[in-house]
Amino acid sequence: MKKWFKPAALIALAVSLTAGGASVASAASSLKGKIVINGSSALLPLTLQAKSEFQKLNPKVKISASAVSSIAGPQSVRKGIADIGAVDWDASVDVPGFKKFDGQVANPVAVTVFAAVVNKNVGVSNLTTKQLQDIFSGKVTNWKDVGGSDANIVVVNRKFGSGTRVNFQMKALGGQDFMTKGDNYKETGSSGDMKTAIETTPNAIGYIDLPYVTDKMKALSINGAAPTEKNVLNGTYKVWGIGYFMTKGQPTGATKAFIEYIQSAKFQNGSLKKLKFIPLAAVK
Amino acid sequence: MLEMNAQSRVIAPAELGNSLRQAGGDPLDRRSRLKFFNSTFKIVCVSAAVFVCLVLFGILILMFRTGVMTFETVSFKEFFFSTNWDPENGHFGALLFIFGTFALTALTLVLAVPIAVLIAVFLAEITPVWLRGTLRPIMDLLVGIPSVVYGYLGLTILIPMLRELTGRDLADGLLAAAIVLAIMVLPTIARISDDAISAVPKKYRDASYALGSTRFQTIFRVVLPAARSGIVYAVILGMARAIGETMAVVMVIGNTPQLADSLFTPTAVLTSNIVMQITSVEFDSTWNYALYLMGFLLLAISLLLIVAVRLLQKKGAKAS
């Protein structure tokens, strides 16, 4: 009896002390709760950045963020396994290929710019819409046909359900279907997988949003316009979309505070811009 | 001294029985306590066994019931004999995934089993004791490496290497996946085979040497056949790991729904296709049911393979 009493008492004391300490430290914010975020991997850099900043301000809010593809976002919200579903299109209305999600509210968070990207070894730096259509439908299979060197084109696509894929198909390929077969064609799960594939595969072409573009790959100009904030704002670069956080009904509590934090001018013009997203206010 | 011992051995069990039989009345006496503990222990053990069976059957029934709803919209023939997997446009031909899973598992075993058995022979028969003592723990550690690590190494090291060796533009496909899986199941098969070979009685070897066989003849004609059932068991375990492996495969197989007509065609298998698509499908859609059916198939295939290997093993044992 006495043997276990002493350590138990010590543990109880330690717990009460740390609990007391923690409550003193977080006196600044009384916001409590748990936010689970799933969905778009294109928006993941933004979610993670906002998460770390928000948790510094509100230490009692627990946020767990993961990402596969856009469609998983609103579906997780519908199934009740996530509070926020990040998605690259407005999932509260019907879009081509995807039905609307009833009862969900779309909270806009950022403007995402999508770029066609190629491996560092590809000599081409600009493609027209027609050339992109030909490459992604499998009609053109050699880089020399679009102004590059004599090498086969490796097409890397995102899987069905990716918001980057939806945006790229609608806005860069004019709604044209992708190829589905071939020895030089593969599909990847998330934006992170796409990044790895493009970086490590010579002669590869794919598409990704700007926050993922590294110096190991090259973002292409489309019809002469480079994928930059300036070109999006002056209307010459068309491949961009608004990213949304879907919630079941209007957001409440910690979820509401988190979304408001991301929509705040401070975050939009600070961290969000640094990540190469574009503030919502800029395009309206 | 000896006699006394013998006597007490005879008496002791009888006494034990007596004490059990004689006691009574008090509900907390030794006999009823013992009876209570014995029966409780039995119930706990039985319910544990029943529980695991229930879980297995629960999974089978759930997968089957959800999966079978596929056939409300898709014909049996299309699902099993078509290679056109295009769910967005209503085509659900799963043959390419089924074929991929069989081909991948076969290729993996072809690559892994001979090497694994050689490693096991080396570990059990040839290595000096001190080296064996270091190698075995290392093999055990290798078994524990998470598959995603193998997949990542495959993606970043193996595929560029294959690309350079073959001169192809894209090396994702069955061969890359099979090599990754083979490396992954090697330690499993090798270690269990090693144990099986070590368990072969020394007298077999002595007899073989006494008849004038060389070491090679002893190992391949006497020791390996004697350890066969253990080695087959090792192969089953390796196969089970290979067939259900997802993360390592999804990173190197290419994830393209087309029939693998060569070793380097980007393709997909049951596991990789399920994990790629399950998060993207609507809950009550044919697509979702089809993925469940593929999960059920995967279960059925691995159960069938295990049964088949067991039957083969029995047949082989009778023939020899």
pLDDT bucket at B241, cuts 50 / 70 / 90: confident
Q: State residue A21's pLDDT score.
A: 42
Q: State residue A189's pLDDT score.
A: 86
Q: State residue B49's pLDDT score.
A: 96
Residue range B99-125: mean pLDDT, rounded = 94
* Least confident range of A24-28, A224-228, B28-32, B228-232: A24-28
Say if residue A3's pLDDT is above 60: no
8 Å CB contact of B277 and A160: yes
Of residues A50 and A97, more confidently modeled: A50
- pLDDT tens string A249-272: 999 999 999 999 999 999 999 999
Q: Which residue of B has its CA nearest to A199?
A: B156
8 Å CB contact of B254 and A196: no
Q: How much of chain B exceeds pLDDT 90, in percent?
A: 54
How do the domains of chain A map onto residue ranges? 33-111+241-283, 113-233
> Which of the listed ranges A187-196, B107-116, B133-142 does the model predict with the highest average pLDDT?
B107-116
Q: In angstroms, what separates the C-alpha of A76 from chain B's closest C-alpha?
A: 9
Which whole-number Å values give the CA distances from B212 to B124, B200, B205, in the listed order? Answer: 21, 19, 11
pLDDT bucket at B19, cuts 50 / 70 / 90: low
8 Å CB contact of A183 and B257: no
Interior angle at CA A247, CA A158 and CA A195, nearest 5: 20
For chain A, the residue count is 284
> Rounded distance, CA B214 to CA B218, Å?
6
Amino acid identity of B113?
V
**Domain A33-111+241-283 and domain A113-233 have a common topology:** yes
Interior angle at CA B282, CA B279 and CA B284, nearest 5: 130
- pLDDT tens string B168-203: 888 899 999 999 999 999 999 999 999 999 999 999
Q: State residue A26's pLDDT score.
A: 43
What is the ipTM for the molecules in this complex? 0.75
A205 neighbourhood in chain B, CB within 8 Å:
none
Say if residue A221's pLDDT is above 90: yes
Pick the CATH number of A33-111+241-283 from 3.40.190.10, 3.20.20.80, 2.60.40.1080, 3.90.226.10: 3.40.190.10
CB atoms within 10 A of CB B220: 13
Across the interface, of B170, B251, B258, the residue whose CB is closest to A181 is B258
Q: Which residue of B has its CA nearest to A75?
A: B282
8 Å CB contact of B280 and A159: yes
Residue range B17-46: mean pLDDT, rounded = 78
Q: What is the mean pLDDT of chain A?
A: 88
A104 neighbourhood in chain B, CB within 8 Å:
none
8 Å CB contact of A79 and B283: yes
Residue range B30-37: mean pLDDT, rounded = 88
Q: State residue A77's pLDDT score.
A: 92
> Rounded distance, CA B161 to CA B157, Å?
6
Residue range A110-137: mean pLDDT, rounded = 94
Q: How much of chain B exceeds pLDDT 70, in percent?
A: 90
pLDDT bucket at A6, cuts 50 / 70 / 90: low
Task: Kindly state the tokens that stand for A162.
Answer: 């990716």
Across the interface, of B169, B250, B257, the residue whose CB is closest to A203 is B169
Q: Which residue of B has its CA nearest to A187?
A: B255
User: Is B157 part of the contact surface with chain A (CB cutoff 8 Å)?
Assistant: no
Say if residue A204's pLDDT is above 50: yes
* Least confident range of A38-47, A110-119, B259-268, B298-307: B298-307
- pLDDT tens string A144-199: 999 999 999 999 999 988 999 999 999 999 989 999 888 899 999 889 989 999 99
Q: State residue B1's pLDDT score.
A: 43
Q: Which fold has domain A113-233?
A: D-Maltodextrin-Binding Protein; domain 2 (3.40.190)
Backbone angles phi, psi at A122, to 5 degrees: -80, 130
Of residues B16 and B261, more confidently modeled: B261
DSSP state of B155: I
Residues 6+ away with beta carbon under 8 Å from B23: B29, B30, B31, B32
Q: Which residue of B has its CA nearest to A162?
A: B280
Residues 6+ away with beta carbon under 8 Å from B128: none
Say if residue B23's pLDDT is above 70: no
Say if residue A11's pLDDT is above 70: no
Beta bridge partners of A105: A247
Q: State residue A99's pLDDT score.
A: 86
CB atoms within 10 A of CB A41: 30
Residue range B231-249: mean pLDDT, rounded = 89
8 Å CB contact of A72 and B280: yes
Q: What is the mean pLDDT of chain B?
A: 87
Q: State residue B11's pLDDT score.
A: 53
> Rounded distance, CA A149 to CA A146, Å?
9
Q: In angstroms, what separates the C-alpha of B231 from chain A's closest C-alpha?
A: 37
Place of tokens 């009685």: B201
Q: In angstroms, what separates the C-alpha of A89 from chain B's closest C-alpha?
A: 15
Across the interface, of B86, B265, B282, the residue whose CB is closest to A183 is B265
Across the interface, of A71, A159, A184, the residue whose CB is closest to B170 is A184
